[in-house]
Structure 1
Amino acid sequence: MIEHRPFESLGRFENDWLSARYHFSFAGYDDPARRGLGKLLVWNDDTIEPRRGFAPHGHRDMEIITYVREGAITHQDSLGNAGRTEAGDVQVMWAGSGIMHSEMNVESEETKIFQIWIETAEPGIAPGWAASEFPKGERSGELVVLASGSGEQGALPIHQDARILAATLKPGQSVTYRPQPGKSAYLVPAVGQVKVEGEGASFSAKARDGVAMADVEAVELTAEDQSEILIAEVPA
């Protein structure tokens, strides 16, 4: 199964500082056909106005990955962690037994982020947070693991048998994605447009569209523009 989910079909929320699109049911948006994909529960596309953001609030037993598309996000939490994550980089927070945190745009321009929530495999563990820079050169023309529960070198830790992968592709450049056995995957181009081909499917996914994949052996991804893609691979 490969399903294209155009950006225009996503759930939405708007207030005076946040413009959000929901790839899966979240908060007041409920679509019975889009209640997660395996252990992937949330993929939110948030645009945050300058000097605004998510005030301190709590989570438990969730792996929360934040990928910055544009601008920067500043994190603070009840463990004393603090950090600023810039465009193209990623942070992870494992909520474990409970953590309070804020995510603020302290910049003078809009910040655009993806927030990805994956159900943990280790409830009740000590919470934590980590962030890392991933220079775009390292992702040119190939998929690189940004976060993983399998301990890949250089990847940020999460507590689930899942991976977050990313790549940058020049126009005409292709990469073949092969999910690990027993895994589903969700692809979103952060920038540009890619052609998706495989399992009888062939379509173009533009920036911020979603592509759900289950029981797939291989998918060919070809950039139609300068593109940056992100994939969450999770237990089905």
Structure 2
Amino acid sequence: MIDIRKFDSLGHADHGWLNARHHFSFANYYDPNRMGWGRIRVWNDDKIAAKSGFPPHPHRDMEIITYVRTGAITHQDSMGNKGRTAAGDVQVMSAGTGVTHAEYNLEDEDTTLFQIWIETDKPNAPPSWGARPFPKESREGQFQLLASGNGDDGVLHINSDARILGATLKAGETLEYKADPSRHLYLVPSAKVDVNGTQAETRDGVAITGESVVTVKAEEDAELVLVDAR
């Protein structure tokens, strides 16, 4: 099954400093049919104005992944971590027993990013944070694993049975991903693509389950972000 969540149908909140689109129910946006996708609970498509950002606020028992699309985001938290994550790179935070964090755009330009929340498999675990650069040229024409709940994968670790992947495709290129039909996949492309014969436009959400192979054909140059979760 492939369900296209059109970009224009997503929840929308414009706070001036933050222009956000919500793939799933979040904050003041509520849709009982979009409470999540499997263990994926939040996928926010955020544009954060220069010299602004999210002031300190708490979380617990959630795996939070930030994929920066343009610009950069600077993180600081109650564990003493601080770091800048630039376009194409990823940071993860396991909120665990509780953590307070802030995310600021300290750049002179807008920052755009995806913030993804996945339900944890380890409630009350110690909180943690990590970030890594992922040069985009390393994912040309193929999916690159960015974060995973499998500690043996050698990438950013989260406390959830999930995989976060990124890829870039040139117009006309095709990419296959072998999937477990029992799992829930969610894909967001930066441009027009065809997914198993179904067309998705720029920044649409593509909810996938029941498929053993996912074939993505780029109709335009596209950047892909995929989450594979229970």
TM-score, structure 1 normalization: 0.95
What SS does structure 1 have at the residue aligned with 2:153? coil
Question: Superposition pairs for residues 1-236 of structure 1, below 5 Å?
Answer: 1-180=1-180, 182-189=182-189, 191-197=190-196, 202-235=197-230
Does the 8 Å contact 1:145/1:152 carry over to 2? no
How far 1:153 sits from its partner (Å)? 3.3
Amino acid aligned to 2:111 = T
How far 1:128 sits from its partner (Å)? 0.7
Distance, in Å, in 2 between the alignment partners of 1:163 and 1:117 is: 12
Q: Any idea what the Cα deviations from partners look like across 1:188-235, whole Å, max 9, x if unmatched?
A: 01x2221111xxxx2322221100011111121011111110011110
Does the 8 Å contact 2:180/2:210 carry over to 1? no
Distance, in Å, in 1 between the alignment partners of 2:179 and 2:13 is: 32
Q: Any idea what the Cα deviations from partners look like across 1:131-165, whole Å, max 9, x if unmatched?
A: 01111111011111100001243310000111001
Amino acid aligned to 1:223 = A
Does the 8 Å contact 2:42/2:116 carry over to 1? yes
Amino acid aligned to 2:104 = M
Gapped regions of structure 2 (runs ≥ 5): none
What SS does structure 2 have at the residue aligned with 1:129? strand
Gapped regions of structure 1 (runs ≥ 5): none
Q: Any idea what the Cα deviations from partners look like across 1:54-96, whole Å, max 9, x if unmatched?
A: 0000000000000001100000000110000011111000000
Give the count of matched residue pairs: 230
What SS does structure 2 have at the residue aligned with 1:137? helix
Q: Which moved more, 1:218-227 or 1:75-84?
A: 218-227
Distance, in Å, in 2 between the alignment partners of 1:172 and 1:60 is: 43
Does the 8 Å contact 2:191/2:221 carry over to 1? yes
Distance, in Å, in 2 between the alignment partners of 1:76 and 1:99 is: 11
Q: Which moved more, 1:146-155 or 1:32-41?
A: 146-155
TM-score, structure 2 normalization: 0.97
Amino acid aligned to 1:230 = V
